[in-house]
C-alpha cells in the first residue's frame, strides 16, 4: 500500500514537473532581436525621429511608462499639419533584409488618445519598396502590434513606425525586429486576437491587461 502511494506520488510529481516545463517554454519565447536598444532601457540611443513636411515633434526617454523594463520612448507631437504618415517616423539605421527570408516587426504602443500608427520596413535605396505595411490604431492602453512579411530582395532597410497622421502623443516600447513568424512577447498575461492574414503578410494586435 505504501509502495503504491509512493508510486502515485512520483507519477503526480512527474506530471507537475512536465506541466511546469511546458508552461515555462510557452512563456519564455525569446527572439534574436535585430534592433539595438529595442526596449529603450538605454534611453533613446540608436533611434532616430524623422521629421519632414511641416511636422513639429520631439522624442524623449520616458521613465513613467513602460511595458518592458522601466523606460519607453515618448514622442511629443505638436503638429502634423501638412504632413503624410511617413513624414514623422521613429526608425533605426543599420538593418538589411535577405531575399526569401521571413521577418516580423512588432512593437508595443500606448497613446494619450485614439490615433493611427503605420508600421512597415522600408527599403533604404531606390525603389524604396515597403514591406509588411500595416495601419493600426493605438489607444490609451499598452497594445502590441506586429507585421510579418517575406523579403523579395536583399539590401538595406529602415524599420519604421510612422506617426504623421495625428498629433496625439504616444509611447512606444519593446520594438522587436526578427527573422521568422510572430513570437509572443514575454510580458504580462494577455489575450491574442489576430486582426488579419494574407498569403505573405499577416498582422495582429495583442492587448495587455
Ligand atoms: Ca522599456
Ligand atoms: Ca500632441
Residue ranges of domains in the chain: 1-30, 32-208
How far is ligand 2, taken at its centre, from the CA of residue 45, in Å?
A: 23
Q: Tens digits of per-residue pLDDT, 28-58?
A: 468 999 999 999 999 999 999 999 988 999 9
- Which ligand places an atom closest to the C-alpha of 107? 1
Query: Which residues are paired to 98 by β-bridges?
Result: none
**85 DSSP 8-state letter:** G
How far is ligand 1, taken at its centre, from the CA of residue 208, in Å?
A: 15
Whether 162 contacts 88, CB under 8 Å: yes
CA distances (Å), origin 205, targets 61, 142, 164: 24, 11, 21
**164 DSSP 8-state letter:** T
How far is ligand 2, taken at its centre, from the CA of residue 111, in Å?
A: 10
Q: Tens digits of per-residue pLDDT, 87-123?
A: 999 999 999 999 999 999 999 999 999 999 999 999 9
Reported as a pLDDT band with limits 50, 70 and 90, residue 206 is low
Whether 161 contacts 91, CB under 8 Å: yes
How far is ligand 2, taken at its centre, from the CA of residue 122, in Å?
A: 26
pLDDT of 192 higher than 80: no
How far is ligand 1, taken at its centre, from the CA of residue 72, in Å?
A: 5
CATH 2.30.42.10 assigned to 32-208: no
Look at residues 124, 116, 120, 52 and name the one whose alpha carbon lies nearest to residue 94: 124
- Which ligand places an atom closest to the C-alpha of 171? 1
Angle at 169 between CA 164 and CA 171, to 5 degrees: 105
Q: Tens digits of per-residue pLDDT, 115-168?
A: 999 999 999 999 999 999 999 999 999 999 999 999 999 999 999 999 999 999
Q: What is the pLDDT of residue 205?
A: 63
Reported as a pLDDT band with limits 50, 70 and 90, residue 201 is very low
Amino acid at each position: 500500500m505504501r509502495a503504491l502511494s509512493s508510486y502515485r506520488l512520483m507519477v503526480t510529481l512527474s506530471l507537475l514537473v512536465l506541466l511546469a516545463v511546458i508552461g515555462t517554454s510557452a512563456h519564455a519565447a525569446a527572439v534574436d532581436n535585430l534592433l539595438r536598444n529595442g526596449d529603450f532601457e538605454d534611453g533613446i540611443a540608436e533611434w532616430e525621429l524623422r521629421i519632414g513636411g511641416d511636422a513639429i515633434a520631439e522624442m524623449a526617454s520616458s521613465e513613467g511608462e513602460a511595458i518592458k523594463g522601466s523606460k519607453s520612448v515618448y514622442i511629443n507631437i505638436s503638429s502634423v499639419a501638412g504632413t503624410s504618415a511617413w513624414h514623422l517616423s521613429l526608425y533605426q539605421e543599420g538593418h538589411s533584409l535577405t531575399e526569401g527570408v521571413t521577418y516580423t516587426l512588432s512593437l508595443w504602443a500606448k497613446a494619450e488618445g485614439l490615433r493611427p500608427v503605420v508600421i512597415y520596413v522600408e527599403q533604404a535605396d531606390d525603389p524604396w519598396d515597403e514591406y509588411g505595411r500595416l495601419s493600426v490604431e493605438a489607444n490609451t492602453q499598452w497594445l502590441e502590434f506586429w507585421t510579418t512579411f517575406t523579403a523579395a530582395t536583399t539590401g538595406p532597410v529602415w524599420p519604421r513606425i510612422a506617426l504623421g497622421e495625428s498629433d496625439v502623443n504616444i509611447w512606444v516600447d519593446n520594438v522587436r525586429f526578427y527573422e521568422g513568424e510572430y513570437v509572443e512577447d514575454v510580458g504580462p498575461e494577455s489575450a491574442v486576437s489576430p486582426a488579419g492574414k494574407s498569403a505573405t503578410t499577416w498582422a495582429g494586435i495583442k492587448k495587455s491587461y
